[in-house]
Structure 1
Amino acid sequence: MWKDPSHVYTGTAHSLAVQNGLFVNGHEQDFARTHTSLSKEIRDIRAHLWLNCCLVFQALCDGLPYLSISESKPYQRKTRLEEIVDASFHCRIKCHDILIDATRAFGDIIDEQGEGSKSLLPLIRIFSEQVEIVPLPLCDDLCYLTRCCTRLAISAYYFFLQSHDFKRPGLITTFSIATEVLDAVSRLDAMQDFALYASNYYTRMALLAAFCILRLVRSQLKEHIDLRDAQQSLFKAISFVKRRSMQHGDLDERTAPESVQTGATDASTYWNSTAAPVGDSFGSSNFPEVYMDWNFPLDLDYIG
């Protein structure tokens, strides 16, 4: 991966996009030294190009909504998205928008009130509902996976809740979404060799799903989930990550943590009903924050 020039190319593309004012709507003249007179078609092309920049950056980073720039009237472009892009792209950019709004909201609450804030629960529910109503194009497995990943990124915040009365059903929901993510990843890989071209974003989300499952399997909630389904899902995550590996010892091979591999291989360790849970009663302590790092606050507004 260290030889991959994609990050440099996308950084260059983003810089050029900003220099040419692609992130604004109807203010191209402010970024041009000569008089500009753009048709509606050219304006739509510019908007489409900027949205592509945003999605590519998210795909190449750790699944985080990439650094974005404020727009004077963002609603103008958002209301015309369906005219500019096709159904598949529209679905992905809507999920991208929701994830950015959720990231900012969760970050603000955690900064102001600390982890475990009571305000987290209504936010999780609000953003989850927004994702669930995003329309999916027919027979588009990648859009389905994208929506599942967005749901998982939001529902994983249930691990931060302190009230067990709300945390318990929330984590059961998280388990269900995590298995959906890994089922979709495995299905795409079987049909389209998804592991060979999947971006870092989907790899990180597959591993987040695996970690969520692993934490629940090692908690008291293991009595309320399908352990066989959990084990199969972990194997799917390991298989997907290993297929991405290009050579022995590379980053993709090392991404599958030893704890997950051991948990899926040695079923007697984590699927033993007498095994003591790790961390607190819901396995929230020692949760691998490297896969939760989308909750940092963003200072700039994303424009859609």
Structure 2
Amino acid sequence: MKTLLLVLAVSGLSAQSAVFREYHHVDMVKTWAEAQTHCREAFTDLATVASPEENARMKSAVQDAGSHAWIGLLDDLKGWKWSLGGEDLSDEFTHWNEGRPDLKSSNETCAVIRADGLWADRECSDTYPAVCYDEKHPSKFVLAAARTTWHEARTHCRSEHTDLASARNMPENRDIHSLVTDYTWIGLRRNTWARWSDQSPRTFTNWDESQPSRTRQAGDSCAAVGSAAGTWWDVGCGATNHFVCEKVYTRKQQTFKMKMRSEADVNDPAVQRQLLEQLHAKLEKHGLSDFKLRWTVSPHKEPEKKT
């Protein structure tokens, strides 16, 4: 079968930048923080993994790395945020009880205010009263006496008032404290494993079946990849392991539209394949190698009738 392929026009439609991560196993033993410093000095950062495809490429880089190798995911104390919004709590007022939050349970990710006005981290599934914030109420803060989970308390406060209460300074904390006699929910919650070392949000995970751990020693936890299966493990950040760095490249992608004419029936899948093969060969002949081809057919439009 012969087909006549004629490229009539080529026009750029859009351009976008794509991030490509090149993974490097570093055969040195360091803590997570030491590994982060080394990766930032020698490469771009500790490895970020945003998709199954990236995880497969990262795993291939560490297949001979031993039992575990650090990657750039960290679960630390800086992810606490107010339900009402705002920056991470690390940059604002805090009033934690001594030794809190302690991260001894990975489920202790919601905060209560105690009878003495100090805060503690508790499991969100526990049930306590709550203090709501109401922007239209004279005192701004309202006690919801019913014992509910943290998420149920937030739903109630958002439907009946404005949101769960925020204590962004000592006067607000005193106002909230004046309403409570025992553990009571406030609008503070921690997002676990929320960000990578390069500060990109976590959108993909590949935890081993038993991970992340529900209980842990006091202190931060960091993620390490198991070289055998490529799954991730929750490991104390002070342990020493090999690690995986990333070198990030930004590639500009351009999309083109091409009009083609053929003597054959372009609705025939066999003809479509042959046309794409011919076009692929011509593009490679002109030095292009990193491209994808896709066949689309525009709906036929009848010519407008003119009087």
Above 0.5 in TM-score?
no
Please say which structure displays the higher CA radius of gyration. 2
**Which is strand-richer, 1 or 2?**
2
Shorter-chain TM range is under 0.3
TM-score, reference length from structure 1: 0.18
Instruction: Tell me the TM-score normalised to structure 2 length.
Output: 0.18
